[in-house]
A = this chain, B = another copy of it.
Amino acid sequence: MFFTVVSYIAAFLTTASFVPQAVKTIRTKDTASISLGMYVMFTGGVMLWMAYGIATGQPAIVISNFITTILAVVILCYKIAGVRAEK
């Protein structure tokens, strides 16, 4: 039981951690020091985790990765817009 709680806290932290980054990015529109490569790979990864959670019937994995996907896509879109603006 104890380690189940640990996994929920871990899932909450790794998911919720993208909220302050998304807020900062939306507010400042500054993505210069954010890696485009990171968010392309990361977004792909959390989308695959979501598919895995759906296929194996694990709602906790689906929900946490769905939230992370939305946040990561927001940051990725600002980064792509920033890259285009530089050109």
Question: B-contacting residues of A (Cβ < 8 Å)?
Answer: 3, 6-7, 9-21, 23-25, 28, 30-42, 44-46, 48-49, 51-52, 55-56
- DSSP class of A's interface residues: helix, strand, loop or mixed? helix
Q: How far is the CB of A2 from chain B (nearest CB, A)?
A: 8
Contact present for B32 and A32 (CB under 8 Å): yes
Contact present for A38 and B10 (CB under 8 Å): no
B residues within 8 A CB of A14?
A: 41-42, 45-46, 49
B residues within 8 A CB of A52?
A: 3, 6-7, 10
12 contacts between A and B (CB under 8 A): A3-B55, A10-B45, A10-B52, A11-B45, A13-B48, A17-B40, A17-B41, A17-B45, A23-B35, A25-B33, A32-B32, A33-B33
